[in-house]
Structure 1
Amino acid sequence: MTAAAAALAAAALLLTGCSASPGSAATSGSATSNATGDATSSKPLIVFAAASLQGSFDALAKSFQKSNREYPVAPIRYDGSQALATQIVNGTDVDVIAFADQKSLEPVTKAGLAGKSTIFATNTLRIAVPPGNPKGIRDLSDLTRPGLKVVICAPQVPCGTASQTLLENAGVQLTPASQETNVTSVVTRVENDEADAGLVYATDIAASDGKLDGITPAGADKVVNSYPIAVANKAPSSKAAHAFVSFVLSSAGQRILSQYGFGKP
C-alpha cells in the first residue's frame, strides 16, 4: 500500500508539471500580444504637409526624432494642400495634417476625418525672379508687360488663392503663362528659366539658396496665409501625432519655422 501511494503521488506531480506548460504558453502569448501592441503604436508617423513647408518640416521631423526616438517619422508627403486633402478624404492613412490655409482643411473636417486645428505659422507672397532681376521687375503691374512669362499657382490651392487676392487688391489683371498645382512647381519653373517671374511665398525665396531673388509687392502684408495643423481622427499613430503637433507648437518648433522665414501664428 505504501508503494502504491508513492506511485500515485509521483503520477500526480507529473500531471501537475504538464499542466503548468499551457499556463506558461499563455503568459508568453500575453507578452507577444503586448509586444505587438508596442509595435503597432510605434508605426512610422505619417505627416501630410503643404509643399511650402518642405524645408521646415524636414528640419522639424529631424529635430523631433532626436528627442522622441520612440516615434519614427515616415518620409513626409508634400503636395498642394488641395491634392493632399483629396487623398485623405479618399481614405489614405495619415496622422498629422499641416496645410497652407484653413479653407483647404475644410473638406477633411467636413468629412469627419480631423477635429480642431491650430494655426502654427503664417506666410506672405513675394515676386520670384532670377538672380539679379534681369527683367527689372519692381511691382505687380510689371508682370503684365507684353512677352513676359509669369507663372502662378492655380486658384484652387492656397498660394493661388492668395495670388488672386493680391492681384485683385492691386487692380492688376494678369494672364499667366501657366497655373501650377503647387508652389514648388512655380519655384522650379522660375529657377529653370522657364518663366521670367512667379508669385511664391517669402519662405520659398529664403529656401532657394540664392537661386531666386524676391521682390515684396505692395499690399503683400495684407494677404497673409495662416497655416493650420491637426491630428487625424483615425490616426494610426495617434500618440505620436499629438507629440509631433505639440513639438511644432513649442518654442523649439517655432524657432525652426522662424529660421525658414515663417511668421508667428
Structure 2
Amino acid sequence: MTNRKPVYIASIIILIALLIAILVAGCTTPAPTAHTATPTVAPTQAPVQKTDLTVFAAASLKDAFNETEASFEATHQDVNVVYNFDGSQALRTQIEQGATADVFASASTSHMNALKNQSLMNNSTVVNFANNKLAVIVPRENPADISTMSDLAKPGVKIVIGNKDVPVGSYTLQILDKAANNSTYGPDFRTKVKANVVSEETTVNYVVSKVALGEADAGFVYVSDVPAEYRAKVTVVTIPDSLNVIAVYPIGVVGESKNQEDAKAFVNYVKSDDGKAILQKYGFTPV
C-alpha cells in the first residue's frame, strides 16, 4: 500500500504558504500614485458695467469739463461721461426735439429757463454753478494795432462775434449797447463796431479759432475761452467792468433722463469744492 502521508503534509504546507502570501499581499499598502499638482486659478473678475451719462454742455465749458470728467469718473467708476459740446441755443433745440441727454449745462439762464418752462428739466435740480465775463482777443501779431475797446471802431478792423442766439453773441451786443451809452465811446460806437463785423459764429470756439488763425483782427469771447492750444497765438484785451456783463451758467438734470441719480451726482460734483476749483482754474468765477 502506497504511503500518502508525505504528499498530504506537503500539500498542507503549500496551502498554508499560499494563504500567508495572500494575507501579506492584502495588508501591503500600495505605493501612492504621483500626481502633478494643478495650479489654482483665480476666478476672472467680470468688468464693471458702466452707465453712459450724456452731458450737454456749452462750448465754453469744454476745457474745464474735460478735467471734471476725469475727476468725477475717478470717484464714480460705474459711470462713463459722454459730452456733447455746442452753443447753448443748439443744445436747447436738440433737447426740445427729443435728443437723449442726462445733464444740461448752459452759458445762459434764458435757454435753461426755456426748457424749464416746457417741463423738459427736472426743475428741482437746476442751479447756477459758475459766472463768466467777456474779453476781446486779438492775434499775437495784432496787425490792426488794437489795445483798447475804442480801437474796435476804427475803419477796416475785422471783428468776429457770436450770433445773437448764442449767449456770447447776446452778451456782446449788451456790451456794445452799454458802450454806446457811455460818453467815452459815443452813441455811434455800436454802429461802427457792427460795421466791422465780418462773421457771426454759432459757438464761441469758432470765434477763438478764427482770431488765433489770423482770419480776424479781434473777437469777443469769454475770459475762460482761450484753450491751451491757442494761448500762445492770441493776446487778451480787457473789457472795462463798467461795460462788461456777467454770464451766469446754470446746470440741471434733464427731465427725460433715465439716469436721474447719476445725473444728480454729476451736478453735485460740479457744485462741490473740487468742481469749483476746476472751474476757477479755467477762468470761471464762483456764483
TM bin (shorter chain): 0.7 to 0.9
Q: Residues 220 and 191 (structure 1 numbering): CA distance in 2 closer, same or farther, change over 3 Å?
A: farther
Paired AA for residue 262 in structure 2: A
Paired AA for residue 63 in structure 1: S
Paired AA for residue 47 in structure 1: V
State TM-score, norm by structure 1: 0.81
The root-mean-square deviation of aligned C-alpha atoms, in Å, is 1.6
Q: Which is further off, 92-101 or 200-209?
A: 200-209
SS state of the match for residue 122, structure 1? strand
Question: Structure 1 or 2: larger strand share?
Answer: 2
Structure 2 CA distance for aligned equivalents of residues 150 and 220 of structure 1: 21
| Residue 106 (structure 1) shift | 2.3
Which of 160, 171, 178 is equivalent to 1:169? 178
SS state of the match for residue 265, structure 2? helix
Structure 1 CA distance for aligned equivalents of residues 176 and 56 of structure 2: 29
Structure 1 CA distance for aligned equivalents of residues 78 and 168 of structure 2: 35
Pairing of 1:202-241 with structure 2 (within 5 A): 202-205=223-226, 207=228, 208-219=230-241, 222-241=244-263
Instruction: Say if 2:90 is the partner of 1:83.
Output: yes
Question: Structure 1 or 2: larger helix share?
Answer: 1
Larger Rg: 2
Pairing of 1:93-104 with structure 2 (within 5 A): 93-104=100-111
Which ranges in structure 1 are unaligned for 5 or more consecutive residues? 1-37
Paired AA for residue 68 in structure 2: L
Structure 1 CA distance for aligned equivalents of residues 202 and 227 of structure 2: 21
Paired AA for residue 199 in structure 1: F
Structure 2 CA distance for aligned equivalents of residues 239 and 71 of structure 1: 11
Aligned to 1:119: 128
Which of 142, 167, 172 is equivalent to 1:158? 167
| Residue 123 (structure 1) shift | 0.6
| Residue 138 (structure 1) shift | 2.2
Instruction: Say if 2:218 is the partner of 1:197.
Output: yes
The answer to whether the Cα contact below 8 Å between 2:178 and 2:243 also exists between their aligned partners in 1 is no
| Residue 157 (structure 1) shift | 1.2
Q: Residues 85 and 79 (structure 1 numbering): CA distance in 2 closer, same or farther, change over 3 Å?
A: same
Aligned to 2:32: none
Pairing of 1:1-265 with structure 2 (within 5 A): 42-74=50-82, 76-114=83-121, 115-116=123-124, 117-171=126-180, 172-173=189-190, 174-175=193-194, 176-205=197-226, 207=228, 208-219=230-241, 222-265=244-287
Structure 2 CA distance for aligned equivalents of residues 191 and 132 of structure 1: 10
Paired AA for residue 78 in structure 1: F
SS state of the match for residue 164, structure 2? coil
Paired AA for residue 218 in structure 1: P
Q: Residues 96 and 211 (structure 1 numbering): CA distance in 2 closer, same or farther, change over 3 Å?
A: same
Structure 1 CA distance for aligned equivalents of residues 64 and 265 of structure 2: 17
Which ranges in structure 2 are unaligned for 5 or more consecutive residues? 1-47, 181-188
SS state of the match for residue 86, structure 1? helix
Q: Which is further off, 229-238 or 45-54?
A: 229-238
Structure 1 CA distance for aligned equivalents of residues 134 and 242 of structure 2: 6
| Residue 236 (structure 1) shift | 1.9
Structure 2 CA distance for aligned equivalents of residues 254 and 133 of structure 1: 34
| Residue 222 (structure 1) shift | 4.2
Structure 2 CA distance for aligned equivalents of residues 192 and 220 of structure 1: 30
Paired AA for residue 164 in structure 1: L
Q: Which is further off, 45-54 or 107-116?
A: 107-116
Paired AA for residue 252 in structure 1: D
Structure 1 CA distance for aligned equivalents of residues 114 and 92 of structure 2: 7
How big is each residue's C-alpha offset from its partner over 1:156-192, in whole Å with a ceiling of 9 and x where there is no partner?
1110111001111011212211111110110111011
| Residue 56 (structure 1) shift | 0.3
| Residue 143 (structure 1) shift | 1.0
The answer to whether the Cα contact below 8 Å between 1:140 and 1:167 also exists between their aligned partners in 2 is no
Using the aligned pairs only, state the percent identity: 37
Structure 1 CA distance for aligned equivalents of residues 242 and 88 of structure 2: 21
State TM-score, norm by structure 2: 0.75
